[in-house]
Copies of this chain bind each other. A is one copy, B any other.
Amino acid sequence: MTRNPNMREAILSAAESLFSTRGFNAVSIRDIALEAGANPGSVTYHFKSKDGLLLEIYKRHCGPMNKRRIELLVAARRVRDVQDRLEAVVRAYVQPAFSSSSDLAGGGARFTRLRAVMSAEGNAVVGRIIAEIFDDTTNAFIEAIEQSLPHLPRKTLVWRSQFLLGALYYTLVNPERVTRLSRGEADGADMAEAIEQLVSATVASLQAPDINGQAAAEPAAKAGARKAPAGSRSRPA
């Protein structure tokens, strides 16, 4: 091929790394070229434009990540125990976002962080992609959760899925904050722990009663009906 058979990859990787930490506009093509050990002109040769480069990064990751998610989701739906199944569903959503099964350098975490940053910047190029590609997957998850928590209105599940995604994003964007606030007790960059903490917190939040004053229902079967604690956590919307 050429001198560096992975020049295209190197540029993609460098761009991914820089975009995901500094944002899109703060990174110049020259920055990317420098980081990748390439010539600036080489970037436009391979990807036509800066937008094209960003687009290619998305094309590269979206497929594998959502494929993995759906695989895990299918497996999760087969879990018998209602409680375990809900947890497995949430885990199927969270896990690939932190570490993709594909061998792309950096794994899924870096790409998820990139998505978080692009989302915050309101990047127009990726706006469409998100809605078109990710909404399908998200809907599949919401439906799966609906099956475990049939007493909750879909709208409430959407809100909670929004909180989950936000939590996930921010954990990847600003892990130092966890380390700092915990005074060294926790390591915000520890992805394994982040996943466990996020899954456990999310499962609990999904099981919360709806805000419209209904009683808390136990996940589904298995546990005898227990009333919501007195003092009521629900408030008018």
Contacts and interface: CB of A to CB of B under 8 A. Distances in A.
Interface stretch (A1-9, A40-48, A49-57, A179-187): A179-187
A216 B121 CA distance: 39
Contacts of A135: 180-181
Contact of A131 (B24, B173, B180): B180
Task: Specify how many copies of this chain sit in the oligomer.
Answer: 2
Interface of A: 21-26, 81-84, 87, 116-117, 119-122, 131, 135, 138-139, 142, 153-156, 158-171, 173-174, 177-178, 180-182, 185-186, 188, 192-194, 196-209, 211, 216, 218-219, 222-223, 229-237
12 contacts: A23-B23, A119-B170, A153-B185, A154-B182, A158-B178, A160-B201, A162-B171, A166-B169, A166-B173, A199-B235, A202-B205, A223-B229
